[in-house]
Structure 1
Amino acid sequence: MGISSPGIGSNIPVDSIVSKLMAVESAPLADYDKKSASYLSQVSAFGNLSGALGSFQGVLAGLTSVSSFQTLVSTPSDATVMTASAASTAQPGTYRVNINQLAQAQTLASGGYKTTTAAIGLGAKTTINFSLGTVSGGSFGIAGTQLGASLSSGGLSPGSLSINNTVIASDGTTRSARLLADAINAKSTTTGVSAKAAATVTNATLFGAAGASTFGDIDTSGGGTYALSVGGVEIAAQATGVAGGGAGGVSAASIDAALTGNTAVTRALADANITVTGTAAAGTLQFTNADGSNIAIAEAVTGTVTGGIGNSGTANIGSSTTAVGSISLVSADGSPITIGGTNPAGAGLTAGVGGAYLGASFTADSTRTSGNIVIDSSNNTLQGIMAAINKGGFGVTASIVSDGSTGTTATPNHLILTSTATGATSTMKITLAGSGGNPPDPDLVSLLGYDPGGVQNLSQKSAAADTLATVNGIAVTSSSTSIGGAIAGVNISALKVGSSTLSVSKDSGSLTTAVSGFVKAYNDLTNQIKQLGGYDPDTKTGGPLLGDPTLRNLQASIRRQLGTSITGLQGTSLTNLSQIGISFQKDGSLTLDNSKLQKAITNNFNDIAGLFAAVGHGSDPDVKFASSGTNTKAGDYAINITQLATQGTLQGTNVLPAETVIDADTTWTVTLNDTTPPTLANTATISLPAGSYNPSQLATLLQSSINGVSAFSNAGATVTATVGDDGKLKLASTNYGSKSNIHIATATGTDISAVFGAGASADGLDVAGTIGGYTATGSGQTLTGSPGAPVDGLKLTITGDTVGSRGSFGFSQGYAYQLNSLAAGYLGAKGAITSRTTGLNNTVKDIAKQKDAFSARLVDIEARYRAQYTALDTSIASMNTTASFLTQQFAALAKQ
């Protein structure tokens, strides 16, 4: 039986001996751990360096744009009236701003309907077209009828009329349209409504009818007298004893003579603001007072008189009639007018809420979209119409609002239409057309028909309006509450009507903060580099990256870039950091002299950006800097253009007639800015409302209809339509380049040849040319320097109309831009730090594998040692047994 415990048989300390031997054999394991710890320490150090460099890059990223250094502060004196922001192109100064009106969208409302799901009309297919544009001429308000007959004698009693819940002051003296208009205008500040008196005109049949006079010759031979006055002016008189038709008698002819030419009568009438039309002899004589004052026509008679107004050969006992005018109300902001009071009819008005455009015309805006919806038996309900409009996406939204009325006869549901954009060009016009030669459904026309220049079946609740303002006394208009362009580089946001001053000044505080942030970020990075790669003579220890080439290269590169002057700057004297107060200290850190920086801000505010950001300036203002790449080199580059970018066009060959008729059910298929292979979303069908269009209207119709296609607008694809001096229509994609194209084909109805003739489509071309003599690639109006050249990645936008030499373009890379690019080369998935860290981690893994392999060998070594010493132990134990046996035998023999 073998020995189970080493050393028992031989008394040799096998375990102790093996343990000591293995301790010597495993000594290299500590070296592996030491190496791993060293490499892991470097990995951690590079992690700290990456974090510090990332923080440095984060600061630099905000300093690579010109706007970071050329910001201006805009401060309104009254922030409740307006706010403002200023771009770097703005000029410092103080401006006076008056906001007189805020932009708003138009809102229209229908009459009431009992339910939202009941059918409207018979379901006949009806196409409804929505177009947006501007209302011109006329006014929005209420046209009154002739004032009450009793007003000229008794006036308008107090409380008879209220407008927008404000009582209009009136009494027994309010006896004419002019006086009533004056009373209404006295309250216009409160009501928002003004009044205009229509001209007062005497009855058209007062002196005759059907072209024949009814004024009989005056006969005073019976002993009477006669006098005819108009507006208090005596125009004819006859003394007693004159027979009818006698010499010097009053007749239609004598009245006409008195009213013709420069006579005493005509002068007196003119002084009374009264004009004359027609003649008494023809029975058409009328008198007009333009200001709306009453006109009294009186016949004064004494004694026996025959003849006169409407009287031929019969007794005239005298007469008096007063012509009164009417008024019209105008809403200042296009909102409905509420009429009330105890006797609004006396003022020629009807109680209730109303208002419509009067004497106005509508002009479609070609820059706005136009769209159609089709209503038939499947969707001819309020809900169906609302859904169809909202799905259209052509600048109008629909909703249904209940007024809360109840009862069996209540009609609480109203369709509300609102323009999605504000501004005067957002006024709606809604036209309806039938299909297949049939008229539109009359019930739908009653619901939706709306033309500011015609029938208005919808009521306007708020008018489309622009923001109206003055800036330093100059009137400005904006379609939204944002006002741009009035002050170069400044955008004003109007909040309410009111006045404010606006101060625009250099934002020296932000610039100082940006420069100070750059200095601090550099110093923080420098301190981190010192901790990681420096040597402490006191403790005689070095940082974990002491002597590391990656760290040394990074530090040297940063210092080298900061010590080099900026090149490529045009028209500036600032080329290095010391000129704005930044300089190196003995310990390698940066310091900032604020007084020197403030001097630079005062004298060279716009040039400081060039020291930090990527800046591009061209001698040709139509060559603009778009962007640059990490491989773009600073320098001055000559620009040569061999081909300008063009737009895809469809040029008509027909001279458009005065009127072009578009038939009902006309649809065209439009393909805009399509690709190769074709993309389905780039083709759509448009519907053109039936009608007769002049060339300008036709261009507007096509432009707005195409731009109203949501698939096009979502892709940023739009067109312009123009009629040239040659009378031919041209459609052009607003995009430039080889991806710009437009094609149209007839689907149904009027053929496109009626508008474009044979038509000629031409796809757009990309800009072509060179930058600094190096090849460049064009895409639309953008020219990009080719890889491998100093202009690699430099993107320029080329506009204008000149080919050939376009001057020079200077490009410079400021310190922040250069260092940001440098940092990017060290960071990221392929950066130097990442590569270095990956290498160190791989080394640690290799060391771990070596350690595992060595540990595996130690197991074998220990097993060998144990086997050897176990064998020795067994051998010695055997010999000890033999010796013991022999001793016993020898002892036994000795006894014998």
Structure 2
Amino acid sequence: MTQPITIGGLSSNLDTKSIIDKLVQVQGNSQVLLQKRQTAQNDAISAYSSMLGNIGSLVTQVDSLAKTSSWATTSATSSVSSVTATATGSVANSLSFDVTKVAAAHTLISNGSVNSLGATVATGSTISLAKSDGTSTNINVGTGSLSEVVSAINSANAGITASAVQTSPGNYRLQIAATNTGAASSFTLSGLSGFTGGTGTDAMKTLVTGSDASITVGGSGGYTVTSSTNTFSDVAQGLSFTVSKVESGVTVSSAVDTTKVSDQVSGIVTNINNLLSSITTNTAWDASSKKGGPLLGDSTVRALQQQILSTVAGMNAPGLSVTSGGQVQFDKTTFDTAFKSDPTGTMAAYGASSSFTAASGVAASATYTNATSKTEAGTYAVNIDSTAKAEQWQVIPPGTGIVGRTVALMRGSTTVKYEVQAGEDATAAASKLNTMLATAGMGITASADSSGNLVFAASNPGSAGAFTATIDGGGTASQTVAGDDIAGTIDGVTGKGIGNILTVPTDSESGAAGLSVQVNSAATGAIGDITYKPGLAQQLSGLFTQMSDSQTGSLVQAQTTAKNQVKDLQTQIDAWTDRLDAYRSSITAKFTAMETSLSALKTQQSSLASFFNSSSSSSSS
């Protein structure tokens, strides 16, 4: 609002501006109180934001800690630099062996050379690749020049790579290698020629024979282990190692090392203590300054503080305790000792555990595979309507037999085809197909039944394992079992089945909300009860989520209330601004009128004084 122009005190000799400012100030005390209340609410909002940020980080940390299956609690060492070892699991182990062979990729080299990259090295527009598993691939090489052959092979994604090697100026040889190592990497190529200067009649010869890596455990009286790669896994439980050259007297070992996990726990404890200190500071009263923190008297944050401390104290997780000063303390030595003596129990204390009691006469088992922060400790009935089933197909060859027939398996966008070779029966074909299916990662296994038919089955139960099978030449392929997911209830709530895992919806009102259970049972109906017990990390995750959930979180709601109060106070402050502007205008007008009146009176007084002075002078004359 535009203020009226005044000339204060010219007639009254009063500092009217100061008087007006003080009168407005007195009237504005109510607005000042509102502004102070608004500042206090903004301070509370900032305090809530800081705490919610800390809690958000803690949720991520405790959720990670709760996944005890991924704890890194062992470290590996190797006695030689040519063998590198890694360890998994929670048990120490050791293995001594000799490296007798390293894996090699099968490699061919041209038997002679050509004088340029443009020289023709193919007899036609295609070359044929034949692998050790019996599969063959035709590769289009265009005009058949050396450069085109190299490019075509590398673009075919057929499991081999090619290069033109210049052995001397103007002399080029073709080198082709399998992309994978191992004895199964061997292959042959036909349709190449045109190389000169070589010996023998074949265009290509073996440069490196594909071979498996092998180790011997126990010396001459021991046993041999082979691997198509240079990596060996779980020869000794929890130990994997990669070899790079022939070596004698190698020892790889693993030792229990909880450093990474204890560092995780220590980091969580640090952040919890920071949160607890923040609550104490924000809710404290300073007697000397007679001022309180922005959350003084806030029952929500005080409840959070007590819940954190009581949860830690009540779970008895190894290595953790609560101090008399209201902080959490972590003792790494105690944690290490507990883990080494009882790794399973220690993991359960931090993560979660379950037990299953089968119904009378029912052969079944069930264990939790996952849970959320909403999942509560308790015992829940498991009822199965239908069990999970693995997809199965039967392929029946035509009456003329299986030789020469092409069998194809399709799952999603992946297809595996195999033409049964002369001299092979269904058993031999199944063996070749198993190698191909494993390489393609199809999740399907092949076998032969007593009637000479091929039988295919998904490796895992569930609808996700569905596939189709075909055979040409008049044979038939039919689905004998449709892949199906488990169906049933947990705690009376219908769960979502994926394979043989049944999950309670997270929006369920049941205490089992979010609980996933893997069921192994051929029986249906009430198969038994599962008891779920969350560990410390899972409990803390639930507590922190309860406080910080964007819709229902207690701290979020408290912060929202404070934000709404700030908006309401701002409305009141704005109203007072308008009211004070109006009040200032009103009293300014009154003072202006007073000054105007006084000015007029002074003018009249001056005129009268002049008149009487003039009259007195005339009378004297």
The interval holding the TM-score normalised by the smaller chain is 0.7 to 0.9
8 Å contact from structure 1 (residues 659, 693) kept in 2: no
The reply on whether 1:811 has 2:532 as its aligned counterpart is yes
Matches of 2:420 and 2:146, distance apart in 1: 25
Matches of 1:388 and 1:690, distance apart in 2: 27
Structure 2 residue matching 1:825: 3-state secondary structure: helix
Amino acid at match of 1:461: L
**Pick aligned residue for 1:488 from 229, 232, 237:** 237
**Pick aligned residue for 1:754 from 461, 473, 476:** 473
Matches of 1:512 and 1:69, distance apart in 2: 10
Q: CA deviation at 1:773?
A: 5.3
**Map of 1:612 onto structure 2:** 350
Q: CA deviation at 1:490?
A: 2.0
**Map of 2:154 onto structure 1:** 390
Please show how residues 268-347 of structure 1 align to structure 2 within 5 Å.
none
Matches of 2:83 and 2:56, distance apart in 1: 43
Structure 2 residue matching 1:504: 3-state secondary structure: strand
- Per-residue Cα deviation, 1:366-423 (whole angstroms, up to 9, x for no partner): xxxx5634426x46333333333333334323333322332xxx4x141x32222222
Matches of 1:82 and 1:493, distance apart in 2: 5
Structure 2 residue matching 1:422: 3-state secondary structure: coil
The reply on whether 1:462 has 2:211 as its aligned counterpart is no
Structure 1 spans left out of the alignment, 5+ residues: 134-363, 365-369, 433-443, 449-454, 566-575, 674-681, 746-751
**Map of 1:348 onto structure 2:** none
**Map of 1:660 onto structure 2:** 403
Amino acid at match of 1:497: V
Please show how residues 254-653 of structure 1 align to structure 2 within 5 Å.
364=134, 372-375=137-140, 378=142, 380-406=144-170, 410=171, 412-414=172-174, 416-430=175-189, 444-446=191-193, 457-472=203-218, 473-498=222-247, 499-507=249-257, 509=259, 513=263, 519-536=269-286, 541-565=291-315, 576-577=316-317, 580=318, 582-591=320-329, 597=335, 600-616=338-354, 623=366, 625-637=368-380, 639-653=382-396
Moved more, 688-697 or 93-102: 688-697
Q: 1:853 to 1:740 in 2, by over 3 A?
A: same
Matches of 2:240 and 2:365, distance apart in 1: 23
Structure 1 residue matching 2:154: 3-state secondary structure: helix
Structure 2 residue matching 1:557: 3-state secondary structure: helix
**Pick aligned residue for 1:766 from 485, 492, 495:** 485
- Per-residue Cα deviation, 1:448-482 (whole angstroms, up to 9, x for no partner): 9xxxxxx9753222222222113454322222222
**Map of 1:881 onto structure 2:** 603
Query: When the two structures are aligned, how many residues end up with a matched partner?
Result: 596
Q: CA deviation at 1:819?
A: 0.5
Matches of 2:239 and 2:495, distance apart in 1: 35
Q: 1:616 to 1:373 in 2, by over 3 A?
A: farther
Moved more, 697-706 or 621-630: 697-706
Matches of 2:194 and 2:34, distance apart in 1: 90
Q: 1:632 to 1:722 in 2, by over 3 A?
A: same
Instruction: State TM-score, norm by structure 2.
Output: 0.82
8 Å contact from structure 2 (residues 114, 194) kept in 1: no
Identity %: 26
**Map of 1:116 onto structure 2:** 117
The reply on whether 1:837 has 2:587 as its aligned counterpart is no
Q: 1:388 to 1:643 in 2, by over 3 A?
A: farther
Matches of 1:656 and 1:802, distance apart in 2: 40
The reply on whether 1:695 has 2:417 as its aligned counterpart is no
Matches of 1:731 and 1:404, distance apart in 2: 53
- Per-residue Cα deviation, 1:276-320 (whole angstroms, up to 9, x for no partner): xxxxxxxxxxxxxxxxxxxxxxxxxxxxxxxxxxxxxxxxxxxxx
Matches of 2:410 and 2:93, distance apart in 1: 49
Q: CA deviation at 1:62?
A: 4.1
Amino acid at match of 1:496: K
- Across the aligned residues of Structure 1 and Structure 2, the Cα RMSD in angstroms comes to 3.9
Structure 2 residue matching 1:631: 3-state secondary structure: coil
Matches of 1:536 and 1:15, distance apart in 2: 40
8 Å contact from structure 1 (residues 371, 392) kept in 2: no
8 Å contact from structure 1 (residues 81, 99) kept in 2: no
Q: 1:7 to 1:513 in 2, by over 3 A?
A: closer
Q: CA deviation at 1:727?
A: 0.9
The reply on whether 1:867 has 2:589 as its aligned counterpart is yes
Matches of 1:96 and 1:87, distance apart in 2: 19
Over alpha carbons, which structure has the higher Rg?
1
Please show how residues 157-196 of structure 1 align to structure 2 within 5 Å.
none
**Map of 1:825 onto structure 2:** 546
Structure 2 residue matching 1:633: 3-state secondary structure: coil
**Map of 1:724 onto structure 2:** 449
Q: 1:78 to 1:772 in 2, by over 3 A?
A: farther
8 Å contact from structure 1 (residues 656, 695) kept in 2: no
**Pick aligned residue for 1:60 from 51, 59, 62:** 62
Structure 1 residue matching 2:65: 3-state secondary structure: coil
Q: CA deviation at 1:813?
A: 1.0
Q: 1:842 to 1:626 in 2, by over 3 A?
A: same
The reply on whether 1:96 has 2:107 as its aligned counterpart is no
Matches of 1:3 and 1:61, distance apart in 2: 68
Q: CA deviation at 1:51?
A: 4.3
Q: CA deviation at 1:707?
A: 7.9
Structure 2 spans left out of the alignment, 5+ residues: 196-200, 358-362
Q: CA deviation at 1:815?
A: 0.8
Q: CA deviation at 1:57?
A: 4.1
8 Å contact from structure 1 (residues 656, 727) kept in 2: no
Matches of 2:326 and 2:6, distance apart in 1: 72
Matches of 1:851 and 1:769, distance apart in 2: 60
8 Å contact from structure 1 (residues 447, 458) kept in 2: no
Matches of 1:538 and 1:865, distance apart in 2: 42
Please show how residues 34-45 of structure 1 align to structure 2 within 5 Å.
34-45=36-47
Matches of 1:700 and 1:379, distance apart in 2: 38
Instruction: State TM-score, norm by structure 1.
Output: 0.59
Structure 1 residue matching 2:307: 3-state secondary structure: helix
Structure 2 residue matching 1:105: 3-state secondary structure: coil
Structure 1 residue matching 2:404: 3-state secondary structure: strand
8 Å contact from structure 2 (residues 375, 511) kept in 1: yes
Q: 1:805 to 1:699 in 2, by over 3 A?
A: same
Q: 1:700 to 1:506 in 2, by over 3 A?
A: closer
8 Å contact from structure 1 (residues 639, 772) kept in 2: yes
Q: 1:508 to 1:893 in 2, by over 3 A?
A: closer
Amino acid at match of 1:419: A
Matches of 1:621 and 1:501, distance apart in 2: 42
Structure 1 residue matching 2:591: 3-state secondary structure: helix
Q: 1:584 to 1:34 in 2, by over 3 A?
A: same
The reply on whether 1:672 has 2:411 as its aligned counterpart is yes
Q: 1:457 to 1:672 in 2, by over 3 A?
A: same
Q: CA deviation at 1:528?
A: 2.8
